[in-house]
Amino acid sequence: MTADGKNDGRAAIRFPQRLRKPALLLIVPTLAVLLMIVLLQRYLIYFPKKEPVILPEDAGLPAGRVKAISTETADGHALNGWLVGAEPGQRDATSKGTQQAGGETRLLLYFSGNAANRLYRVEEATTLNELGADVAIFDYRGYGENTGSPSEEGLAADARAMWRHALEECDVSSCRQIILVGESLGGGVATRLAAELCEAGTPPGGLVLRSTFSSLVDAGAYHYPWLPVRLFLRDRFASLERIPSVTCPILVLHGRQDRIVPFELGQRLFEAAPQMSHNGLAKQFVEFPGADHNDVLWIARNAYREAVGTFLDELGSARLEE
């Protein structure tokens, strides 16, 4: 109706009075839940176990082969970890994969998932030791004894500090002797570090990704399809965007029955990776048919060891041919 009382042909849209209260009862709690998730989302992503980590030997690690290590991030957080060395007999018995020219040993720099602390990765460290490699594993900020609170940018800073420590303090003579290994969310941390290093012209020796995602956004959208995850997630771990920059050799491992990070997300990440590395090695994807997310070392331990061991063999061969 216009000012002169004539109908302009447009009908006013009115929300029925009887539906207003039920609508408010639905909308207000929904908005409150969304706001809570936005504000508290990092508590839904990171599950650190904040506690003094017991002595390595109390965790089942051999005292003579474990060294406490620590480093400091650019923003002032001290990160504590362990350097777990392979037994000399293991090192001698392994094939060329863990040995460089001149008998130098490879170091696997391990990036953990989102929960607990390094005490809960003893099985991972000892399994990788069986391949004749030393393993350096740090806790992120806010995990174990470390100060601070985790975030994507914080973990990226932690990864850079861990890399510097591995390069400067561990028994390696070049970045090519260090292999990045990322588990679950740690795969997002390792992929970002690998991309940065490759773009800087200092690529690591290789990148191993186990049970990780194309992005945390994709994983979140899978678990919470009713939430606008793609709009409000702050820590995105956009590995799919970063992996094209990774020029070092790549191995992706994933359980076919993974219910936390669906198998398809691991495949999607692998497909986005360069076909060949800078030294001519093709990217590799290995699936574990019966494995879920957290049981790879129990369901597919031998297959896991064989896949990583073969990858290290190929790295060793490529290194010796250079």
Question: What number of H helices and E strands is found in the chain?
Answer: 11, 10
Write out pLDDT tens, residues 150-174: 999 999 999 999 999 999 999 898 9
13 in any annotated domain: no
Which domain covers residue 229, as residue numbers? 51-321
67 in any annotated domain: yes
What is the share, in percent, of the chain residues with pLDDT greater than 90?
71
Closest-CA residue to 210 (of 281, 261, 249) = 261
Write out pLDDT tens, residues 249-278: 999 999 999 999 999 999 999 999 999 999
CATH number of residue 72's parent domain:
3.40.50.1820
10 in any annotated domain: no
**Res 227 pLDDT > 90:** no
In this prediction, residue 91 carries a pLDDT of 61
In this prediction, residue 312 carries a pLDDT of 96
175 in any annotated domain: yes
42 in any annotated domain: no
66 in any annotated domain: yes
Write out pLDDT tens, residues 307-318: 999 999 999 888
Q: Residue 227 CB: number of other CB atoms within 10 A?
A: 16
Name the domain count of the chain. 1
Could you tell me if 301 and 128 are in contact, meaning their C-beta atoms sit under 8 angstroms apart? no
In this prediction, residue 31 carries a pLDDT of 61
151 in any annotated domain: yes
**Res 96 pLDDT > 50:** no
Tell me the pLDDT of the chain averaged across its residues: 89
Write out pLDDT tens, residues 54-85: 888 888 888 789 999 999 999 999 999 999 99
Band the pLDDT of 88: cuts 50, 70, 90: confident
230 in any annotated domain: yes
